[in-house]
Amino acid sequence: MPHGHCYFWRPEILWLSVVSDAIIAAAYYAIPVVLFLFARKKKDLPFIWMFFLFSGFILLCGTTHIFEIVTVWTPMYRVLVLTKAATAAISILTAVLLIPLIPKALSLRSPAELEAKNKELEREIRERKRMEILVREQQLQITQSAKMSALGEMAGGVAHEINNPLAGIKAVVSQMQELLAEPTVDVAMLREMAGDVEHTTDRIAKIVHGMRSFSRDSSADAHTQVTVADLIGETLDLCGERYRKHGIQLEVSRFDHRLSFTGNGTQVSQILLNLLNNAHDAVAELPEKWVKVEVRDTPEAIEFSVTDCGKGIPAPLRDKIFQPFFSTKEVGKGTGIGLSISLGLAQNHGGTLYLDPKSEHTHFVLRLPRRTGNAEVG
């Protein structure tokens, strides 16, 4: 029997019921659509499965109202009650699952709390950035002092290299004065002497230039095109005398003198000088003394290597030598920061500095990639 009978088919009751059911059903169908759209927009929504349960529950509620309308004219009560049973099942499930969710939902941060937390994090980030700048400034200072210390090790040799030609210039100038005082001035001889003095002062100027460009703070310099031959020449000018003094044979392998790379020449020179200083100290007391500098050119990188005739570095120390303040030199002789700073400078060029463990001698390799345009200037 259609449900309309219960309303005695009185239109005012029947239609009020039908229209009410239709509006309720429409509203119930609309709500899950809105929920779905909301959930889709808000990707990180917590407990999203609960939204699906709600949607299912409301959809079924709406469906029961549709069948309420149908049963006014058609007695499909079985379908109606089955829909109601399904609604009951899903509603009880939703209710049961909702209970344990409440404490979790309560623990979700409110926008105000999140705002406060964000501000705190921003403060922490600012503080950390400030510390990073401070650490970086200190690193630059340490790099500079390591460079000055490396230069200090060279100072005696450099002073000798300036003093020796200076003694020659002094003698020749005094001879020139005597020649000028003679009745017949030997112009040819004077010209030759003046040439010798000029040539020798050029050499002194070159040494001073090398020291000046090495000692100045180059950390802010932009990367430029550096000619490998010039770089090696200037570096050897600084330490060559120290090698000669101790009778250490310093050999430079043949390489293409047009070879160049993009980088900070002073920093690369600092790395090489540090390696050469270490090699010098390692072999100075050995009966056989030699150090070899090699340049290898590959399509990807330029490799500089410094090999000394020592027996290499024992395996347990290989990692430690690149750590700051680790030194195998006597107390007071090594600062222990040379290699760690050199490694940092190599990394500034996007390169590496490592000890070749396969070599029977102590063999350090500085590898600089061909393209360092993006590397940080440090």
Q: Which residues bind another protein (CB under 8 A)?
A: 156-157, 159-160, 163-172, 174-175, 196-197, 199-200, 244-245, 247
The residue type found at 347 is Q
Strand, helix or coil for residue 306? strand
For another protein, which is the closer residue by CB, 165 or 338?
165
Instruction: Kindly state the smallest distance separating residue 154's Cβ from another protein, in Å.
Output: 11
Instruction: Kindly state the smallest distance separating residue 366's Cβ from another protein, in Å.
Output: 27
The residue type found at 320 is K
Question: What tokens appear for 256 in the block?
Answer: 């293409």
Strand, helix or coil for residue 246? coil
The residue type found at 254 is R
For another protein, which is the closer residue by CB, 104 or 199?
199
Burial, 100: exposed, middle or buried (Cβ in 10 Å; 0-12, 13-18, 19+)?
A: exposed
Instruction: Kindly state the smallest distance separating residue 221's Cβ from another protein, in Å.
Output: 31
For another protein, which is the closer residue by CB, 251 or 356?
251
Q: Name, in order, each residue with C-beta under 8 angstroms of 311's C-beta and a sequence gap of 6 or more.
A: 360, 361, 362
For another protein, which is the closer residue by CB, 60 or 291?
291
For another protein, which is the closer residue by CB, 132 or 186?
186
For another protein, which is the closer residue by CB, 107 or 174?
174
Helices assigned H by DSSP within the chain: 11-41, 48-73, 77-107, 111-180, 187-215, 228-245, 265-283, 338-348
Instruction: Kindly state the smallest distance separating residue 194's Cβ from another protein, in Å.
Output: 12
Strand, helix or coil for residue 183? coil
Instruction: Kindly state the smallest distance separating residue 199's Cβ from another protein, in Å.
Output: 8
Instruction: Kindly state the smallest distance separating residue 145's Cβ from another protein, in Å.
Output: 23
